[in-house]
């Protein structure tokens, strides 16, 4: 073992000013971690004192000589705990020959811990020396020990760091091309990586293939180990090698600069650290080779593997948290994936056992990766003991090394082939959204089995007897499966077949950073893309009053639905109210109606509207079935947007099953009252038993007798029905109502074409555009709903032309 010298930095802060009477002693819970610093951090915290020229960092524990590691002491969030800390003492043990020391950090005090999920668990200690910087000067292992003292005692935490130099991707290639060393087969990583965009981003840029904008500011992310700090010139990274070799960035971008096919115009040692290679994410590899060889020969070493295996997004965010040009990571911060649903704070301790593969497969990055690997192998069983509940980050969904089984997808999505739901349904039509649906479906097994086994105390799914859909049945809802259908054929919307890439097609829509007039778009970074959000919220302050407004991102919907402005647009009278309300309003009405028919937490059907259900094993089978459907629609979260016909069909069927075929106030009850039986031909909703041209459905909506000609109703030649005050039950004709229809224009589209809907009221007139042009990006069926009120007649056509 290498000899070490000891360098101590002892900086004790002032004691906490709270009186002893107000402080409760807490068990010490602290950690010391390297914090990533991203380009967006530099933008956001420059005004708080962060230097504009500060070096970004991936927060790795393996880094190069001369490169900073921004260390911080984080303490658990416990009521009053941080305030009890009285001092922090740092000790650095560097390798022999090092004169490195811990120095004050440039990170401002108002910069929080890095991960949004960690913010629920940790806070940076409030002491002035809670953050320090380590800038190593020689190769080797550096150990940092920190003593944290509070009013109840002290605790010691430590972290070790591998410091090395960059060797370049050609060294990695030597082993990671399906090699066998000793008794170990080395993972074949180089070949799939070489097909990724990372592997050629720099060479394509200087060859002019990425556009004329490509310049020196791009290569800090597009090369390996690019650090202009003077202390890092010997790190083996791109900048240091470039300076030594004298290579200059070309003044003209052309394919003779890097020669993408063979790099012939660049020195080999520079070619090896050009592009985004292994060491960008794993750290410099000089300390990896010897431990790896010893490991392969059966002689494991203490510091194996001698490089980083990143398990957070820091390695990606050092480049991809850079809006507006590289906003993927910036968007991710606003997503639920980044937030608390996957953290230790939100997962019951009973669900953290190493055997609970069904939880870790969706609540941990390592668990999902293991699930995907084993699903590809054919068994779908998670074989990981890593139950650290981490955020769903970049590597959860993307395979950074490249795919060993290439697909036609450019985003290195781990799993696109299929998704298997709890009832055994296998989905293959979701495209990129198949990945999402592997978690976003009911994880409590089959709906039928769930309802059947729950009152018997039997397992409702593989590992438990819980009731309901377990939070996120969006995939089941979109596909219209795995609910209680009562033997009925409940229709589904066309979303499951008409939206390319299903979930991704809508939730990851592109939101521009600017509006059409060049002004900043407030929805950018808060919706679409990797936020996965379909709306953003604005806040207006008036004195002490804060008003919120939800802005729905409907641009992607308007490709098919026309000029809607929010998700709650009228479609049908799903709730049988006699009025066509917004689809989300209709679904909420049905949810409320169904909840009034179900027991409260005391087991009593009290007729009140409920926002949650406390399902008991002694509920009747009908109540359990209805409760399952209520949870299915409620937990889907879209209030019908994913699949309005299926959602409303389930709720109406559940209501009918609990109340009988004729729900009071429903059309069936109304028709049965006038025609005795629903099988009577005159009971059909479009029948006209009075012969006055007014169908049953309209008289039902107006509360009129369908067998009587009503003098207050007038059917005009243009199809509009007028009802005056007498027909509506009023005393004066001032409350006249006009009921008209709409035209649903449906047509097929082909990728690469643009379509414009046009209308005229007379064929002798000139055609007028309706709405904006529709640019087709795939082959699909489009549907456009346009109003016809106030027009005697209309003719429509669709004009197509190649997209410019």
Determine how many CB atoms are found less than 10 A away from the CB of residue 627. 26
Does residue 422 surpass a pLDDT of 70? Answer: yes
For residues 41-47, give the mean pLDDT. 94
Write down the pLDDT at residue 250. 85
Write down the pLDDT at residue 352. 47
Cα 679 from Cα 672, distance rounded (Å): 9
Does residue 666 surpass a pLDDT of 70? Answer: no
For residues 120-137, give the mean pLDDT. 93
> Do strands 140-150 and 85-93 pair parallel, antiparallel, or not at all (unpaired)?
antiparallel
φ, ψ (nearest 5 deg) of residue 93: -115, 100
Cα 144 from Cα 94, distance rounded (Å): 8
For residues 736-760, give the mean pLDDT. 78
Specify whether the CB–CB gap between 42 and 52 falls below 8 A.
yes
* DSSP string for 43-112: HHHGGGT--TTPPPB---SEEETT--EEEEEEEE--TTTGGGEEEEEEEEEPBTT----EEE--S-TT--
Among 176-180, 242-246, 486-490, the least confident range: 176-180
CA 443 vs. chain centroid, Å, equals 18
Helices (H) and strands (E) in the chain, counts: 25, 24
Does residue 665 surpass a pLDDT of 70? Answer: no
Confidence of residue 145 (pLDDT cuts 50, 70, 90): very high
Confidence of residue 771 (pLDDT cuts 50, 70, 90): confident
Does residue 652 surpass a pLDDT of 90? Answer: yes
Specify whether the CB–CB gap between 572 and 579 falls below 8 A.
no
pLDDT (tens digit, 9 = 90+) per residue, 696-746?
A: 877 887 777 888 887 667 665 555 666 654 444 434 444 556 666 667 777
For residues 436-452, give the mean pLDDT. 91
Most confidently modeled range among 308-317, 355-364, 701-710, 784-793: 308-317
Among 66-75, 98-107, 691-700, the least confident range: 691-700
Does residue 270 surpass a pLDDT of 60? Answer: yes
For residues 292-304, give the mean pLDDT. 76
* DSSP string for 314-330: HHHHHHHSBTTTB-HHH
Write down the pLDDT at residue 17. 29
φ, ψ (nearest 5 deg) of residue 531: -75, -30
Does residue 497 surpass a pLDDT of 90? Answer: no
Domain boundaries, the chain: 7-164, 169-283, 510-552, 742-802
Most confidently modeled range among 116-120, 450-454, 528-532, 749-753: 528-532
* DSSP string for 583-617: HHHHHHHHHHHHHHTS--TTS-------SS----T
Determine how many CB atoms are found less than 10 A away from the CB of residue 38. 25
Backbone φ/ψ region at 545: left (φ over 0), alpha (ψ -120 to 50), beta: beta
Percentage of the residues of the chain whose pLDDT score is greater than 90: 46
Write down the pLDDT at residue 84. 84
Confidence of residue 387 (pLDDT cuts 50, 70, 90): low
Backbone φ/ψ region at 773: left (φ over 0), alpha (ψ -120 to 50), beta: beta
For residues 465-472, give the mean pLDDT. 85
Cα 173 from Cα 188, distance rounded (Å): 9
Does residue 178 surpass a pLDDT of 60? Answer: yes
Specify whether the CB–CB gap between 9 and 105 falls below 8 A.
no
* DSSP string for 554-586: -TTTHHHH-S--SS--B---TT-SSS--BHHHH
For residues 492-514, give the mean pLDDT. 92
Specify whether the CB–CB gap between 368 and 392 falls below 8 A.
yes
For residues 16-24, give the mean pLDDT. 31
Task: Label residues 668-698 b or e (16+ Cβ within 10 Å = b).
Answer: bbbbbebbeeeeeebbbeebebbebebbbbb
Strand ranges (E), 449-532: none
Q: Round the average pLDDT of the chain to a whole number and report it.
A: 84
> Do strands 153-164 and 62-64 pair parallel, antiparallel, or not at all (unpaired)?
parallel
Write down the pLDDT at residue 716. 59
- Which of 445 and 280 is assigned the larger pLDDT? 280
Where does 7-164 sit in CATH, by number? 2.60.40.10
For residues 367-387, give the mean pLDDT. 73
- Which of 479 and 460 is assigned the larger pLDDT? 479
The β-bridge partners of 57 are 37
pLDDT (tens digit, 9 = 90+) per residue, 302-332?
A: 778 888 888 789 999 999 999 999 999 999 9
Output the CA–CA distances (angstroms, integers) from residue 570 to 398, 459, 567, 742, 785, in the order listed: 38, 41, 9, 11, 10
């Amino acid at each position: 073992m290498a000899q070490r010298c000891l360098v101590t930095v002892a900086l004790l802060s002032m004691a906490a000013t709270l009186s002893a009477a107000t402080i409760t002693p807490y068990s010490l819970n602290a950690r010391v971690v390297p914090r990533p610093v991203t380009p967006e951090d530099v933008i956001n915290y420059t005004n708080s004192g962060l230097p504009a020229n500060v070096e970004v960092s991936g927060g790795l524990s393996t880094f190069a000589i001369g490169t900073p590691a921004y260390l911080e002491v984080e303490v658990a969030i416990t009521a009053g705990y941080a305030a009890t800390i009285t001092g922090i003492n740092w000790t650095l043990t560097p390798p022999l020959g090092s004169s490195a020391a811990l120095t004050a950090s440039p990170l401002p005090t108002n910069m929080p811990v890095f991960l949004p999920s960690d913010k629920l668990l940790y806070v940076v200690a409030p002491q002035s020396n809670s953050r320090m910087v380590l800038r190593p000067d020689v190769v080797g292992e550096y150990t940092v020990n920190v003593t944290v003292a509070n009013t109840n005692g002290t605790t010691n935490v430590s972290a070790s760091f591998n410091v090395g130099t960059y060797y370049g991707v050609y060294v990695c290639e030597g082993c990671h091309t399906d090699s066998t060393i000793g008794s170990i087969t080395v993972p074949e990583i180089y070949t799939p990586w070489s097909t990724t965009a990372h592997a050629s981003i720099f060479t394509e840029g200087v060859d002019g293939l990425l556009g004329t904008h490509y310049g020196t500011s791009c290569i800090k992310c597009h090369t390996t180990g690019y650090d202009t700090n003077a202390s890092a010139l010997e790190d083996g990274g791109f900048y240091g090698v470039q300076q030594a070799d004298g290579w200059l960035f070309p003044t003209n971008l052309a394919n003779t600069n890097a020669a993408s096919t063979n790099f012939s115009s660049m020195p080999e040692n520079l070619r090896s650290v050009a592009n985004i290679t292994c060491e960008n994410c794993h750290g410099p590899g000089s300390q990896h080779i010897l431990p790896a060889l010893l490991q392969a020969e059966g002689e494991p070493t203490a510091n194996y593997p001698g490089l980083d295996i990143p398990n957070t997004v820091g390695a990606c965010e050092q480049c991809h948290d850079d809006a507006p040009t590289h906003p993927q990571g910036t968007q991710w911060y606003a997503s639920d994936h980044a937030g608390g649903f996957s953290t230790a704070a939100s997962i019951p301790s009973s669900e953290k056992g190493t055997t609970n593969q069904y939880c870790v497969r969706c609540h941990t990055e390592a668990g999902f990766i293991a699930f995907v690997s084993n699903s590809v192998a054919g068994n779908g069983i998670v074989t990981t003991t890593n139950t650290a509940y981490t955020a769903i980050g970049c590597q959860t969904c993307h395979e950074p090394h490249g795919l060993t089984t290439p697909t036609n997808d450019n985003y290195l999505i781990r799993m696109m082939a299929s998704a298997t739901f709890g009832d055994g349904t296998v989905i293959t039509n979701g495209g990129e959204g198949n990945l999402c649906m592997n978690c976003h479906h009911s994880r409590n097994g089959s709906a039928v089995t769930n309802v059947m086994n729950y009152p018997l105390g039997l397992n409702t799914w593989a590992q438990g007897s819980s009731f309901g859909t377990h939070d996120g049945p969006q995939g089941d809802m979109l596909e219209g499966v795995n609910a209680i259908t009562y033997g009925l054929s409940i229709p589904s919307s066309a979303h499951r077949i008409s939206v390319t890439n299903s979930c991704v097609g809508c939730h990851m829509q592109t939101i521009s950073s600017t509006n059409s007039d060049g002004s900043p778009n407030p929805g950018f970074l808060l919706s679409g893309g990797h936020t996965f959000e379909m709306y953003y919220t604005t806040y207006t302050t008036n004195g002490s009053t804060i008003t919120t407004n939800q802005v729905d991102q409907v641009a992607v919907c308007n490709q098919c639905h026309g000029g809607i402005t929010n998700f709650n647009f009228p479609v049908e009278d799903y709730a049988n109210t006699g009025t066509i309300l917004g689809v989300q309003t209709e679904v909420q009405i049905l949810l409320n109606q169904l909840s009034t028919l179900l027991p409260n937490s005391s087991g009593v059907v009290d007729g009140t509207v409920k926002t949650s259900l406390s399902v008991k094993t002694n509920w009747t089978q009908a109540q359990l079935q209805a409760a399952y459907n209520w949870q299915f629609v409620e937990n889907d979260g879209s209030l019908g947007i994913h699949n309005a016909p299926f959602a409303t069909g389930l709720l109406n069927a559940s209501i009918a099953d609990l109340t009988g075929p004729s729900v009071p106030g429903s059309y069936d009850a109304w028709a049965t009252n006038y025609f005795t039986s629903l099988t009577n031909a005159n009971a059909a909703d479009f029948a006209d038993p009075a012969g006055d041209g007014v169908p049953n459905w309209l008289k039902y909506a107006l509360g009129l007798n369908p067998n009587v000609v009503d003098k207050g109703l007038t059917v005009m030649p243009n199809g509009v029905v007028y009802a005056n005050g007498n027909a509506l039950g009023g005393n004066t004709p001032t409350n006249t109502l006009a009921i008209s229809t709409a035209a649903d224009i449906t047509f097929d589209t082909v990728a690469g074409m643009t379509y414009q809907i046009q209308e005229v009221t007379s064929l002798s007139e000139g055609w007028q555009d309706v709405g904006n042009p529709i640019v087709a990006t795939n082959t699909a069926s489009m549907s456009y709903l346009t109003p016809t009120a106030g027009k005697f007649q209309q003719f429509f056509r669709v004009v197509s032309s190649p997209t410019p």
